[in-house]
Amino acid sequence: MRILNRLLIQSTFRYHYRTNTVKAQKKSNTFNLEYDPIKQTIIYPPELLINNKNYPTDSWTNVNPHILSRLGQNLHRQKNHPLYHLTNRIRQYFYQQKDPRKQSPKFSIIDNLSPIVTVQQNFDSICTPNDHVSRTKSMNYYINKDTLFRAHTSAHQVDLIRSGLNAFLCIGDVYRRDSIDPTHYPIFHQCEGVQLFNKEELFMENRNVRGEKDNLQIFAPNEYRDATKQEGHTLEAVKLVEASLKQTITDLFKTLFPNASTLNSRWIDATFPFTHPSWEYEIEIDGKWYELLGCGIIEQSVLENSGLGKDYIGWAFGLGLERIAMIMYGIPDIRLFWSTDSGFLSQFQFEDSTRPVQYKPVSAYPQCINDLSMWMNKTRIDPLDLYDLVRSIGGDLIEQVLLIDEFYHEKKDKHSQTYRIIYRSMDRTLTKNEINMIHKDIENHCQKQFDVEIR
Ligand code: PHE
């Protein structure tokens, strides 16, 4: 029955593509899309109804039915899901941290904010420059020029600080257009952490040799920006905040991976528009380094946008939950997080989220590899556009898409690209025939959408 449902869903997609129309249906998320073969774009209706709200479309609109069909699943809140267990463990770690004066947990935890945000929230509020690459259409799912599916949980930093929180976690699904392989999926989950300190909180423990409080300051107006700090911050304040951030993260990972004493980790200098200085945190497992999070000292202008710029300094981090869960439970492929297969979910049916579990593959089904070569009649295809199209047609049967060859043929005055599409089901063996049909469908739609000749 389950397999049948799956086939039905996919053949619905195929059917609509064949008739040049795609229908996305998930509760209220219904709309019809058509392709304009001349402009090589999807034609959207004037408005999209998403979660009972109408959004006007425009030239920025690029959401697709696959994304909409995933909306509202909230895997991190689904009991007995690996992401639920992981967030529980992160929660437990942060709940243990008490506010020394009130003896209550220091961190508030917010995990239910809508992933539909404004450009202002996702970029402007956290000081992302207007020409920053992270804003481009090719990296995000826009509903229209002002609204998109959040690309990170940092989109909520300013609102949450404004609402009065000084220490919080914000957990949710995030959406990014990206390559297709076993570790990338256009939707994944993040946990944002933020902690702010005023002068009293930051220097509380610092007393000089005579036992008096040092007159240490967070701000010094004449201080300039360098690699270690922002302008206006004192080095002693920044170093204390940096120590708090790094200690918090290192201890979190010691809790998540109790063998952490044998787990190598390192801090890599990084750059984000909303923190300075910034780092990435990596851990080493079986000789391979994994980047787990980005973090840093919050840009003071972000705190100014939140109304706290005068008295507070703080740190922020954003960690990717799937990647950690994949390492923690030995889950080999990111698509498994969306599996409704009982063979997968039953392995996570337990109350105690701290239970160590190693995922056992239900069975390894074979891959099926088909190449797609084409001549482009006009411009070169942006691989991200092709990934979206392949995913929309092949759904979760697509394990990986690789651009394996690309060149420009002078005489023909044409670009050529060859993609390798690797098909694999998570729960059954695919027949050659079935794959050929999907592959043919992908070819047909490439011809319609991109004006190419299949070679
Ligand atoms: N938002 C960043 C990302 O998604 C991560 C981050 C969060 C970095 C907070 C610094 C501070 O890549």
What's phi and psi for 392, nearest 5 deg?
-65, -35
pTM: 0.81
Q: What is the mean pLDDT of each run of 10 residues along the chain (455 residues)?
A: 28 26 44 66 88 94 91 94 98 90 89 98 98 96 98 98 97 94 94 96 72 82 94 96 97 86 87 98 89 97 95 97 95 92 86 93 81 90 93 91 92 93 88 94 92 91
Q: Which of 123, 152, 178, 249 should be mutated for ligand 1, with most atoms under 8 A from CB?
A: 152
What's the pLDDT at 342? Answer: 76
Ligand 1 closest atom vs CA 190 = 4
Are residues 13 and 392 in contact, defined by beta-carbon separation less than 8 angstroms? yes
**For residue 416, what are the β-bridge partners?**
375, 407
By alpha-carbon position, which residue is closest to atom 4 of ligand 1?
A: 152
Residues with Cβ within 6 A of ligand 1? 152, 154, 272, 275, 278, 294-296, 316-318
Q: Where are the domains of the chain?
A: 75-337, 368-454
For 75-337, CATH gives 3.30.930.10
What's the pLDDT at 269? Answer: 98
What's the pLDDT at 5? Answer: 28
What's the pLDDT at 14? Answer: 24
Ligand 1 closest atom vs CA 317 = 9
Which one is the CATH code of 368-454: 3.30.70.260, 3.40.50.300, 3.30.310.10, 3.30.70.380?
3.30.70.380
Whose structure tokens read 């939950």? 321
What's the pLDDT at 268? Answer: 97
- Residue 244: exposed, middle, or buried by beta-carbon count in 10 A (0-12, 13-18, 19+)? middle
* 75-337 and 368-454, same CATH topology: no
